[in-house]
């Protein structure tokens, strides 16, 4: 299974499409542009007929693994199926043709969509206001941390520490560091939840905020959240929720009710927009009342005057942290999330979370037969197994098990994260999988556990059925070369 680069498929003179001759005289254009911006020779583009372009990319897409092919149990990433109607609406010409520099009165529909999406998100998390600007979860974290900074500055205090629990996603300490905070790590206890005694010793007058993920990255709900909230707020600090795991909470409970001051959402997780290669992301941020004045500009506002409603983008927010994005966020993702949330309605949103939790617990109950669970169940929407038994007894590591899953036609779960679990194997099935798919995945993992015991070579040499066989991962990260050929 090999595929040439599109440049190697090129043959001089082949064309996919022929344009008519331009009726714009070339002279004036060249006079308008400074000479240094003019191309000296034609761009070196591949010359390929349309049929070969289509086949090339279809072949590549078949090498790839994606959620339209099979279950994608990547823990913490919420790789749920992305309903196609989201793509249909985001492709409507009224949305694709709108330009961010158009006067607001000519883009009322788009502004209304953004306003209503932020209202739905606000309601789901129980916050006072939401900005849709940030382009991803980590960007939402940075936005939230800049809001924390601005809040303390507005009270003439320059607290320089952020508390982060040791099970947190790596983006939490990374975002805190980018905003110039000193990071203090808080321990997890034997149950996998925040260690309250350790937390107490780390709460000092220079703590600006605690960043907490709830449910945490082990899929466990922080049962002591109200105690934590009290400790943090009594210290004059703020409470930040990494809401990437909102798939477990919708319609059941709200971060605002738990006392969180700030929460970020991942529209490309909970709200069914595709991840990564499927397009850009979106990481809106919700805040409590006292942080509203600091939200990024522009702020989308609904104005009701003489019985008329209009929407505007206000820059007139003197205390704002400023812009977090050019224009206003990744709009096409917002259209997808809006469609999804409207299609669900409040009842549907609750069923999403209930089924995400049921699916995770069902799958876990099947896997406990052969795998260790380091922290006690029940879990919320995901769980974290350990491959310690397989490693100790058969010298088969979690990495090997993950590779072998590819031969069974499944994407691997998240592995070696969170860092507090050795040989971690972190699974998030999401609500969009049927019981038949969950059973097929469980059967595959149980079969691999058998192979590890009886025929470990099979697992150690995997994958054998993929376009690319086992890679030397250390080599790839030490000798980085992102070009395939000729460089």
Buried b (16+ CB within 10 A) or exposed e, 236-264: ebbbbbbbbbbbbbbbebbbbebbbbbbb
- Helix, strand, coil % in the chain, rounded to nearest 5: 40, 10, 45
Residues ≥6 apart with Cβ < 8 Å to 345: none
Residues ≥6 apart with Cβ < 8 Å to 192: 167, 216, 218, 220, 374, 375, 376, 420
Total residues contacting ligand PLP by CB under 6 A comes to 15
Task: Using the minimum distance from each CB to ligand PLP, give the nearer residue, 216 or 398.
Answer: 216
Task: Using the minimum distance from each CB to ligand PLP, give the nearer residue, 379 or 459.
Answer: 379
Residue 266 contacts ligand PLP per CB under 6 A:
yes
State the minimum distance, in angstroms, from the CB of residue 484 to ligand PLP: 26
Residue 270 contacts ligand PLP per CB under 6 A:
no
Task: Using the minimum distance from each CB to ligand PLP, give the nearer residue, 172 or 390.
Answer: 172
Residue from the set 89, 171, 270, 330 that interacts with ligand PLP by CB under 6 A: 171
Task: Using the minimum distance from each CB to ligand PLP, give the nearer residue, 67 or 448.
Answer: 67
Residue 452 contacts ligand PLP per CB under 6 A:
no
Task: Using the minimum distance from each CB to ligand PLP, give the nearer residue, 263 or 459.
Answer: 263
Task: Using the minimum distance from each CB to ligand PLP, give the nearer residue, 137 or 429.
Answer: 137
Residue 420 contacts ligand PLP per CB under 6 A:
no
**Distance between CA atoms of residues 208 and 92, nearest Å:** 44
User: Judging by DSSP bridges, how do beta strands 207-213 and 308-314 pair with one another?
Assistant: unpaired
Residue nearest to ligand PLP (CB): 137
Residue 242 contacts ligand PLP per CB under 6 A:
yes
Residues ≥6 apart with Cβ < 8 Å to 223: 193
Name the CA dihedral angle for 323, 327, 333, 336, rounded to a multiple of 10 degrees. 120
Cα radius of gyration rounded to whole Å, the chain: 25
The DSSP string of 293-344 is: GGSPSSEEEEEEETTEEEEEEE---TT----SSSSSS-HHHHHHHHHHHHHH
Q: Where are the beta strands (DSSP E) in 126-214?
A: 129-131, 161-165, 182-186, 207-213
Residue 428 contacts ligand PLP per CB under 6 A:
no
Q: 131 - beta bridge partners?
A: 285
Task: Using the minimum distance from each CB to ligand PLP, give the nearer residue, 107 or 412.
Answer: 412
Backbone torsions φ then ψ of 338, nearest 5 degrees = -65, -50
State the minimum distance, in angstroms, from the CB of residue 61 to ligand PLP: 23
Residue with tokens 């994260």: 417
State the minimum distance, in angstroms, from the CB of residue 170 to ligand PLP: 8
Question: How many residues can be counted in the chain?
Answer: 487
Task: Using the minimum distance from each CB to ligand PLP, give the nearer residue, 76 or 133.
Answer: 76
State the minimum distance, in angstroms, from the CB of residue 136 to ligand PLP: 4
Residue 241 contacts ligand PLP per CB under 6 A:
no
Residue from the set 192, 281, 296, 429 that interacts with ligand PLP by CB under 6 A: 281
Q: Choose the binding region for ligand PLP from 239-247, 330-338, 341-349, 465-473 (rule: CB under 6 A).
A: 239-247
Residue 413 contacts ligand PLP per CB under 6 A:
no
State the minimum distance, in angstroms, from the CB of residue 141 to ligand PLP: 7
Task: Using the minimum distance from each CB to ligand PLP, give the nearer residue, 181 or 311.
Answer: 181
Task: Using the minimum distance from each CB to ligand PLP, give the nearer residue, 381 or 397.
Answer: 381
Q: C-alpha angle 434/426/408, rounded to 5°?
A: 55
Residues ≥6 apart with Cβ < 8 Å to 71: 410, 411, 429, 433, 437, 438, 440, 441
Task: Using the minimum distance from each CB to ligand PLP, give the nearer residue, 56 or 66.
Answer: 66
Residue 293 contacts ligand PLP per CB under 6 A:
no
Residue with tokens 């509203």: 292
- Smallest CA-to-CA distance from 75 within 211, 247, 262 is with 247
Residue from the set 82, 133, 137, 208 that interacts with ligand PLP by CB under 6 A: 137
Other residues' Cβ atoms within 10 Å of the Cβ of residue 317: 16
Q: C-alpha angle 16/20/23, rounded to 5°?
A: 145
Residue from the set 244, 246, 344, 357 that interacts with ligand PLP by CB under 6 A: 244
Residue 138 contacts ligand PLP per CB under 6 A:
yes
Residue 283 contacts ligand PLP per CB under 6 A:
yes
Q: Choose the binding region for ligand PLP from 27-35, 64-72, 131-139, 300-308 (rule: CB under 6 A).
A: 131-139
Binding mask 214-233 for ligand PLP (x = CB under 6 A): ---x----------------
Residues 64-83 that bind ligand PLP (CB under 6 A): 76-77
Question: Rule CB under 6 A: which residues touch ligand PLP?
Answer: 76-77, 136-138, 169, 171, 213, 217, 242, 244-245, 266, 281, 283
């Amino acid at each position: 299974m090999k595929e040439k680069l599109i440049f190697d498929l090129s043959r001089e003179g082949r064309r996919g499409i022929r344009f008519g001759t331009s009726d714009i005289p070339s002279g004036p254009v060249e006079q308008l542009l400074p000479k240094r911006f003019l191309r000296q020779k034609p761009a070196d583009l591949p010359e390929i007929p349309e049929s070969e372009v289509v086949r090339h990319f279809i072949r590549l897409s078949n090498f790839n693994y994606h959620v339209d092919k099979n279950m994608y149990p990547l823990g913490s990433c919420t790789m749920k199926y992305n309903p196609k109607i989201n793509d249909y609406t985001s492709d409507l010409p009224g949305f694709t043709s709108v330009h961010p520099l158009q006067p607001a009165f000519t883009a009322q529909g788009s502004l209304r969509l953004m306003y209503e999406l932020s209202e739905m998100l606000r309601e789901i998390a129980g916050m006072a206001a939401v900005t849709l600007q940030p382009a991803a979860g980590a960007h939402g974290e940075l936005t939230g941390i800049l809001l924390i900074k601005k809040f303390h500055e507005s009270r003439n205090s320059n607290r320089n520490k952020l508390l982060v629990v040791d099970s947190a996603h790596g983006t939490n300490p990374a975002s805190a560091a980018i905003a110039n905070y000193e990071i203090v790590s808080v321990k997890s206890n034997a149950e996998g939840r925040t260690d309250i005694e350790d937390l107490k010793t780390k709460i000092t007058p220079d703590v600006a905020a605690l960043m907490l993920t709830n449910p945490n990255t082990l899929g466990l709900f922080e049962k002591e959240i109200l105690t934590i909230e009290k400790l943090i707020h009594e210290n004059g600090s703020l409470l930040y929720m990494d809401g990437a795991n909102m798939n477990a909470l919708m319609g059941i409970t709200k971060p605002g009710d738990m006392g969180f001051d700030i929460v970020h959402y991942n529209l490309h997780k909970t709200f069914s927009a595709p991840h990564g290669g499927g397009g850009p992301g979106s990481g809106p941020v919700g805040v409590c009342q006292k942080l509203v004045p600091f939200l990024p500009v522009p702020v989308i506002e609904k104005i009701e005057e003489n019985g008329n409603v209009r929407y505007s983008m206000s820059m007139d927010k003197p205390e704002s942290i400023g812009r977090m994005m050019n224009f206003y966020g990744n709009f096409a993702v917002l259209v997808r999330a809006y469609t999804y949330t409207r299609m669900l309605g409040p009842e549907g949103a609750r069923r999403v979370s209930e089924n995400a939790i049921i699916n995770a617990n069902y799958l876990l109950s099947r896997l406990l037969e052969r795998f260790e669970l380091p922290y006690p169940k029940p879990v919320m929407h995901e769980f974290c197994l350990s491959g310690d038994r397989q490693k100790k007894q058969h010298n088969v590591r979690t990495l090997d098990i993950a590779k072998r899953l590819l031969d069974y036609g499944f994407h691997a779960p998240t592995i070696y994260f969170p860092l507090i679990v050795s040989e971690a194997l972190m699974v998030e099935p999401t609500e969009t999988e049927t019981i038949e798919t969950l059973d097929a995945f469980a059967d595959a993992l149980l079969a691999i556990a058998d192979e590890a015991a009886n025929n470990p070579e099979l697992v150690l040499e995997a994958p054998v059925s993929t376009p690319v066989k086992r890679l030397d991962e250390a080599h790839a990260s030490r000798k980085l070369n992102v070009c395939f050929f000729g460089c």
